[in-house]
Amino acid sequence: MDAPKQILIRSQSRVPTISADKLSDYPVLPLMTGVLFPGMTFSIQVGRPENVKLIETCQQSGGRFVSSYSRAEVETSGPQPIHQVGVFTEVRSVQAGAGGSLLVTIEGISRAILKDVVATEPYIIALAAEAETAPFVSRIIRARMDEVIAVVNELTHLDPTYSPELSNVIKMNVEDPSLFADRVAAAFHFSLASKQELLEALNLDFRFERLLYYLNGELDRVVTVLSVNRNTKQRIQDEQRKYYLRQQLHEIRRQLGEDFSEEKEAARLRNMIKSSSHLPPEVVARAKIEVDRLSQLSPASAEYGATKSYLDWILNLPWGKSTSHDFQMADVEKVLSSDYFGPVVLKEQIMQKLAVRRLAAGDEGPTLCLVGAPGTGKASMAKAIARALGKEFVRISVGGITEVAELKGSPRTYLGSYPGKIIRTLREIGTCDAVVLIEDLDYFNIDNNSSVNMALLEVIDSRRNARFLDNYLGVPFDLSQLMFICSVRTFEEIPEQFVPRLELVELPGYIEKEKIVIAKRYIIPNLLKKHGIARHEFNISDKVLAKIINDYTQEAGLLGFSQQMEKICRKIDLAKPEKPKSKWLITEKNLESFLGTSVFIPEKAELKPEVGISAGLAWTGAGGELMFIEGLRMKGEGQIITTGSLGEVMRESIQAAHSYVRSKSDMLGIDANDFREFDIHIHFPSGAIPKDGPSAGITVCLVIASVMSDRPIRNDIAMTGEVTLRGKVLPVGGVKEKVSAAYRAGIKTVVLPKENQKDIKDLPRDILRHTEFHYIERVDELFKLCLQKPVPTTHSLKRIFVDEIKKARRRKNHKRKYSRAARSRR
């Protein structure tokens, strides 16, 4: 029966071509448990029927057969795959085994090369011939043999599983290099695939090269095992010694009557770890290691105190403690409206942010940053958000922080180390999903150290803070459930690295009417409760509140106003013991007895129109202000003089206004030569206060036109707007605050850029009802609206008289010249 071709595994090494006359049929015995080398004996158990028959046949006839390694990992019912290179084998002894198997001892004679498998019944039969050893250089092989002997000596010395006599047995075969290599390959614990590779290496040089490779690998393995065993043994000995000493120490301390406090403390901490189901696995693992260390330390050692402090920190943090995210947006809107007084647009922006957090059970978007002057309600807004969400509220000031360790803690290896500010705060509040207000961001890291900025960004950035690593704890803490809100006074003071990761929400300043509402609704009730004053004992009118706002404070928010009201409450508390049943009425007459004389003098409108003075509207950090811009012309060389602590932008705006007015000299009735013969001085009051910005452009245009044309400017009108070189009026910001400032000063007519018409809708109704607005697109419209006819003065009448005399003289001279010319023609 013909055998399948696929059961013969071809050699990876080059096999010499064998002539047909040298090939003969030989039985083939597959070996699954080992590789047989020439000159070696091998004991195997034969159980398969075809292999048993092969052994019996060869034993009876005394014939040879081929033993070939079979690479099959599991025994199958089909033909076994065999390697092309095997060994001619003879049977040395046969004994009966269990279940009809045979225990056979075989001996390898020489290498055999299988050509083809010709039959598989009754057992495998293949064409085979003896392999001839390739020629070799004796000197090179001798050197390789010496290397092998050196490695073998080292192996037998290190590994007790190899017999010490193995080296001597191998040296007995040095006269036959092939047999020498085969004995070494058979004696050492190489893999079966490695031994088959050495069997197939007919070239001695290549065989010794691979043999040295596997011997060195075995040497490395033995060295590694010995090192591991040595270390393990040493560790076991150390542990046994420590255990013995610890037992002795325990007995000594027991006899001394000590209370074993460290063991009791360790037991308490272990119970705490078991009962804390919310601890993350990595925290549990770290805590167990530290507790084991603690139980072995003396309470008198410094390390004991440091380790116990670390365990107290790590076990008392709010790992995973949070409240429900199931809040209703209608309830949130109701709370925000009741707790915070401000623009509807601002509340809508906050509501949108919270809606995303509700649906996504978190928020990986930018962090909210409230921008506004002190007292504009940044903390009140953050507190209202916390109450609306049903979360804890905490304020963290980062002002003055200049080191990373203040935020992320210092490593435990440092003396006096402790966690950073964030982790300390979380331990105090006992939850990991609070609303955290990061205050004083504008005073943070004044040295502008980028690593400190990145440390805080790692805290507040929702993309990174899920595994925030405090240097003291050494294990990550999840900050992603915290809602961080930053606060800053102005956009310019936000560190550069934070800008891309912050969603800026501007809290505008309050006008007078809004301040009165907030004072009556929030500030005064809180202050009365704080100072122990009943509501019916205190009375103050809106007019008095307005006087405090205008005469004693100058701010966009209500911080200074709150401080002034506190002064009043303290004076009432001081006088209350003497008049316990009195009611306190605060009026304009007795206000000075509580607060002293007025701190600020409000700007008022001029009593009559004048040349060279106009009311401009400005926005500052304190809100809207009325600013009277003054102008004066004098003999000179056509220069512009500016005073009043002006910035570069404002200087450029004055120059643009001057150029435009000069281009319109004919329309304004100004002699063009006057711009070369007169200097113009523009002055902004309050010179100690720096000023900048382009919004005074139209006011400066009007002042220059007034002083050059001697035309008065209406005193009942205020204005704001940026002007271009071609006379266009551009929009400006802070319209609400500016219009409110004009209203406080008694000016009921306001000029605004056309594009700012939409910005007045947020103004109180009484201001809209009593103020007349004019919207302009070009400065020419402002000239027609504000410039009055020149008022005749002695100087102007004299100038007109002189001009008339000059004109009469020119007419007379012209007539004389004409008469002389006519006579000469005649």
DSSP state of 522: I
Calpha distance 206→181 (Å, rounded): 11
Six token digits for residue 760: 């007045």
Calpha distance 458→443 (Å, rounded): 18
Look-up of token digits 């084998």: 89
Calpha distance 542→515 (Å, rounded): 10
Calpha distance 390→379 (Å, rounded): 16
> Can you name the residues that pair with 585 across neighbouring β-strands?
539
| Angle at 410 (CA atoms; ends 405, 416), nearest 5 degrees | 120
Six token digits for residue 655: 């120059």
Residue of 735, 737, 777, 773 lying closest to 754 (CA atoms): 777
Known catalytic residue: 738? yes
| Angle at 538 (CA atoms; ends 535, 542), nearest 5 degrees | 105
Q: Using only the alpha carbons of the chain, give its radius of gyration.
A: 51
126, 115 contact by CB (below 8 A): yes
Does the N-terminal peptide bond of residue 122 adopt cis geometry, omega within 30 degrees of 0? yes
DSSP 544-567: HHHHHHHHT---SSSHHHHHHHHH
| Angle at 162 (CA atoms; ends 159, 168), nearest 5 degrees | 120
| Angle at 335 (CA atoms; ends 330, 338), nearest 5 degrees | 125
| Angle at 554 (CA atoms; ends 551, 557), nearest 5 degrees | 125
Residue 673 CB contacts under 8 Å (≥ 6 apart), including other chains: none
573, 534 contact by CB (below 8 A): no
Calpha distance 698→657 (Å, rounded): 7
Q: In 3-state terms, what secondary structure has residue 737?
A: helix
Q: How far is CA 681 from CA 12, 215, 253, 658, 675, in A?
A: 102, 101, 95, 11, 12
Catalytic residue, from 195, 353, 547, 738: name it.
738
> Can you name the residues that pair with 126 across neighbouring β-strands?
26, 117
Q: How many helices (H) and strands (E) does the chain have?
A: 28, 26
Catalytic residue, from 695, 706, 709, 740: name it.
695
Beta strands in 742-816 (DSSP E): 749-753, 772-776
Residue of 438, 426, 437, 435 lying closest to 495 (CA atoms): 438
Residue of 346, 353, 410 lying closest to 376 (CA atoms): 346
Q: In 3-state terms, what secondary structure has residue 159?
A: coil
Calpha distance 481→714 (Å, rounded): 60
Six token digits for residue 228: 């591991």
Calpha distance 83→71 (Å, rounded): 8
> Can you name the residues that pair with 554 across neighbouring β-strands?
none
Helix extents (H) in 611-685: 648-663, 665-668, 674-677
Burial class (CB in 10 A: 0-12, 13-18, 19+), 34: middle
Known catalytic residue: 695? yes
Q: Give the residue numbers annotated as catalytic, written as ranges.
A: 695, 738
